[in-house]
Amino acid sequence: MKDIKEEVNDFLDKCSQLKRSKFIMATTRIKDLLISIVNSATLYELFHAVTEGFDYISAKRKCLIVSHEGLLDRSRLVLPEDPADKLAFIFCLLVEFDHNTINFNEFLRRFFPEDGSYYSSFHSFCDKVIVPFEEIIADLFRDERNEQQSAQQSAPQADFSGQSAGRADAAQHADPGAAEKLSAVSILIAREKNIISGLNISERDRQDGVSMLSELERAIREGRGAAADALIRGYEYYSACHNNFSQLIQLLVSAMEA
């Protein structure tokens, strides 16, 4: 049975194979990439989390842009800014290619016309879509992929209180699900930032909330329990000042105790 590092490396390897493949093999490599997700419990749960509740139909209307210029239609792809939504959108798009509900060749011709050749269109697609897909996963699991770095990093604790860096580091090695929990934390916080961006509040308040969330994620990743606990209390007060809009803390606790 593969460990998390092997599963993630297998996914990243499949991304590299897709980017290096000939155009004629592209859909086969896309299928291989999706299979690597299904075969990984960690990645499967991650993509389940980001796609649950994700409005792919609306996202397609926003991301697959067609503009009319005279007699010509010009099409372009704009990926979501939010990392969780970006993962969800790319995943759903790849599934559509795999199921042929969107024809991959036609998609390239329309959204990546380049010089008119499928070769150029395919490589432009990889740069625009597969590279950020790969980079987000590599960043989420950077500690697990680097054993020496991982040994120096700390795992979050369910109650966020009283953990020294040394104790949190030991907990990470003792808990094989720590990486899944860290991924869940990153996704939840990314979604919370997206929620804040849509609130009817001042720009200063918005920046305060986003900054607090960034510090909270950093504290959890570094195992600074006392700092994380203080930030959680501060964020609860922040939410209370804005009509108790957030359910983040309950979701974080549930994720960490899973």
Contacts of 113 (CB under 8 A, 6+ apart): 121
Q: What's the pLDDT score for residue 158?
A: 42
Show the tokens assigned to 150: 């991982």
Judge whether 255 and 181 are in contact, CB under 8 Å: yes
pLDDT at residue 188 tops 70: yes
Rounded Cα–Cα distance for residues 217 and 50 (Å):
17
pLDDT in tens, 71-109: 666 789 999 998 889 999 999 999 999 999 999 999 999
Q: Report the interhelical angle of 83-99 vs 26-38 (nearest 10°).
A: 120
Rounded Cα–Cα distance for residues 2 and 54 (Å):
29
Contacts of 7 (CB under 8 A, 6+ apart): 36, 39, 40, 41, 42, 43
Under DSSP, is residue 158 helix (H, G, I), strand (E, B) or coil? coil
Rounded Cα–Cα distance for residues 167 and 223 (Å):
8
Q: Where are the beta strands (DSSP E) in the chain?
A: 64-69, 72-77
Rounded mean pLDDT, 148-156: 44
Judge whether 187 and 49 are in contact, CB under 8 Å: yes
Phi, then psi, of 139 in degrees rounded to 5: -70, -40
Judge whether 114 and 121 are in contact, CB under 8 Å: yes
Contacts 24+ apart (CB under 8 A), 158-164: 158/253, 158/256, 158/257, 159/225, 159/229, 160/220, 160/225, 160/228, 160/229, 160/232, 160/256, 161/225, 161/226, 161/228, 161/229, 162/225, 162/226, 162/229, 163/223, 163/224, 163/225, 163/226, 164/223, 164/225
Rounded Cα–Cα distance for residues 168 and 156 (Å):
7
pLDDT in tens, 54-71: 899 999 999 999 877 666
Q: What's the pLDDT score for residue 69?
A: 64
Q: What's the pLDDT score for residue 42?
A: 84
Rounded mean pLDDT, 163-176: 42
Question: What one-character DSSP code corresponds to residue 141?
Answer: T
pLDDT at residue 48 tops 90: no
Rounded Cα–Cα distance for residues 72 and 56 (Å):
27
Show the tokens assigned to 27: 């859909």
pLDDT category at 127 given cuts 50, 70, 90 is: very high
